[in-house]
Amino acid sequence: MSDVLFVSVALLAGLLSVLVSLLSYRAVMKADEGNENMREVSRLIQDGAVSYIRIQYRILGAFTAVFALIISLAFGELGPPIAISYIIGSTASMSAGYVGLAVATRANRRTAAAAADGGLNPAFNIAFRAGSVMGLMIAGIALVGLTALYWLWDFVFPAYDAPVLWEILTGFSFGASTVALFAKAGGGIFTKTADMSADIVGKIEQQIPEDDPRNPAAIADAVGDNVGDVAGTGADIFDSNVAAILAAALLGATLDVMFTIPFAYSLLPLLIAGLGNIASVIGIFFVRPDCCDDPGTALDRGTYATTGIFMVLILTTLWVLQIDLMIAFSAIAGLVAGVFIGITSNVFTSQRGLFGFKPLMDMVDDSEKSAANLILSGYSYGLLSAVPSVLGVVAALVASFIFGITATSPGLGVWQGGIYAVAISAVGLLATNGFTMSSDSYGPIVDNARGVIEQADASEEAIIACDRLDAAGNTVKAITKGFAIGSAAISVLALFAAFIESVDALLAFEISVNLADPFILAGAFIGALVPVTFSAFLILGVDRNAGRMIEDIRRQFDEDPGILAGTSKPDYDRCISIATSGAIRELMPSTLMAIGVTILTGMILGLEALAGYLGGAVIMGFIMALLMSNAGGAWDNTKKYIESPDYNHDDPRYEQIHDNAVLGDMVGDPFKDTAGPSINTLLVVISLTATLFLPIIARLNVWFISLF
């Protein structure tokens, strides 16, 4: 009975999220689209985003088909169901990203129109409601997909036990994660190619504003916000959410086999995620600013309300079901860690600071000295930002493990129970991802609205309103990136434990991870190199692609002086085409490298070395992702502050100071929007590769050893 209850709650909560998302979409589409100029600029952005995503999805579709065939042939009897799960996971992730993109590219002109007609609050309401379409849709599709697949395979293969069923469902998560890696890395290369090119040729060389319609890269820059921050981040959070649920389910399935209990530990993560979805839906309605509210205050209120509602729901539900509350405390520990990481990102990337500690304002002062000073301070604060975030994750890991091993519930109170509780903390951290992604999607919508306003020659009051919305959106994006990085770290650690348990369950082989073993230490070093190499590939990809676009923008200015004079229009499509083709070309080597190195490490060095490899990748990747995301966010907001009315624009050195800030922002752009957040997905992909392909890697290792 409890099994049906857990899955039913998750399914209904997922459907509720989808329903509220569709209702929000309908409400947003009823809003005024603005004047003809606004509609024209917005449609250029919309057409460019759709064009890019169609090309990317065609390539992803071919990749998915080939990989599904390989899985189907390589896994024997379980091959076809795993392949089907993989295809459904890929399709679900692409669908979630496309829905968010479709809404965001239509909401930007409506937000701009509301800012022009009604000011700050009406524009905020439209932008956040549009963002909630993306957030709730992602959370809903994840739960509906997982629960529907579980019931499908449980019906088709009733003789299989829970570990095998969840092994089949690993294909769903692997499909979601490979799509997310393409979407996040490709979208990041696209958006930063356009952003850097627009800044270098437009702001620095020609001294024209960021979103000036005379800049050939202006539309490509706006398109990039959508394909990177909406479709890419949406796929990233979708992937992390599914991976966290899957890791906890795999570990729970081990407990289900070991102990006789009145409910299924493997299905409890679905119930917890369902409660988080319900809390997110309710929390959305707490984001209603009054006339005196700052947008950031309204978003914070929604975050705190959602967190509080989730805590009440999980404690009450588990108490009523007579399930050990230590599990609830583990989930809450994860959620608190996520909020703490978000607060840390806020302190290091916004003007607010904490207790007089304001890194951003120190960086503003350094901008007045030189670009070198600004880059050094931003990088240093990025390193420092990793300290509290790592300690927050460590606290959540230790606390949840202690909750697990001290519980009195059957199955908990042992090492496996402690690791299961750690996995539950990852589920708890991501349980309210519906609200988190709603706030995050708001960011690129208001950023686009700011560009639409400027290119449509709207009033100064409307531009100021959009600037305030954009500033809040920048901070929210930094917080969400920190949240996503923390969730990925705990999720991957749970997947790491699931990998070790899977070796025992599927191969009857117990892994001992001893760093004194040269093979395991070698694996750890190789794993640590993967996020480093991956980041280098992506940043070099941005560098090469931006170089191509910069040359084209300069060519357009030289060949047609009327562009800068405002008497003729630039060729926006040419820049969009350069960003699109380059992004697709540059992301392929890094994606294939991540999957290939994982399999080769296990094949050559063995399964214990592969466990060391995953550990090294998680530790290095987590710290690198925090460094790059927070340093990049701080450089971006330093530039934003210097451009804002709060800064002294009458300073005789203002032009040089502004150029210094722009240079810092350009260094930070591929950090925070390309490499940093893509590491989250990389870690999930390599962990799932190791877990899903475990039997194949084991056979390859035996074959390799036999050669010698």
- In this prediction, residues 106-119 reach a mean pLDDT of 79
Mean per-residue pLDDT for 83-94?
Answer: 88
Residue of 380, 323, 217, 361 whose CA lies nearest to 5:
323
CB neighbours of 704 closer than 8 A, spacing ≥ 6?
A: 603, 604
Model pLDDT for residues 611-649, shown as the tens digit of each residue: 889 889 988 998 998 898 889 888 988 888 888 777 887
Q: How far apart are CA 424 and CA 426, in angstroms?
A: 5
Each residue's pLDDT tens digit, 223-272: 777 777 777 777 777 887 888 888 888 888 878 877 777 788 888 999 99
DSSP string, 220-240: HHHHHIIIIIIIIHHHHHHHH
What is the reported pLDDT for 511?
67
Higher-pLDDT residue of 474 and 602 is 602
> Which stretches does DSSP call E strand in 184-283?
none
Question: What's the rounded Cα separation, in Å, for the pair 222 and 194?
Answer: 8
Give me the percent of the chain exceeding a pLDDT of 70.
91
Helix (H, G, I), strand (E, B) or coil at 357: strand
Higher pLDDT, 509 or 544: 544
Q: What SS3 state is found at 354?
A: strand
Residues making up the chain, counted from first to last:
708
| 344-371 confidence digits (pLDDT tens) | 887 888 777 677 788 888 999 999 898 8
d(CA 11, CA 94): 20
Nearest in space to 670 (alpha carbons), one of 194, 207, 231: 194
pLDDT of 35-51, one tens digit each? 777 787 777 777 777 77
What residue has token string 């009450």?
Answer: 316
Q: Greatest CA separation found in the chain? A: 78
User: With bands split at pLDDT 50, 70 and 90, how would you rate the model's confidence at 457?
Assistant: low
Give 422-454 pLDDT, tens digit per residue.
Answer: 889 888 888 888 888 887 778 778 877 777 777
**Interior/surface letters 465-502, b for 16+ CB within 10 angstroms, e for the rest:** bbbbbbbbbbbbbbbbbbbbbbbbbbbbbbbbbbbbbb
Residues 11-35, mean pLDDT to the nearest whole number: 88
- 414 has a pLDDT exceeding 60: yes
119-128, 316-325, 386-395: least confidently modelled range: 119-128
**Nearest residue to 474 via CA among 430, 452, 451, 442:** 442
C-alpha span between 354 and 352 (Å, rounded): 7
Helix H or strand E segment including 249: helix 233-258
Most confident range (mean pLDDT) of 287-291, 584-588, 692-696 is 692-696
Q: Which two tokens stand for residue 321?
A: 């079901």
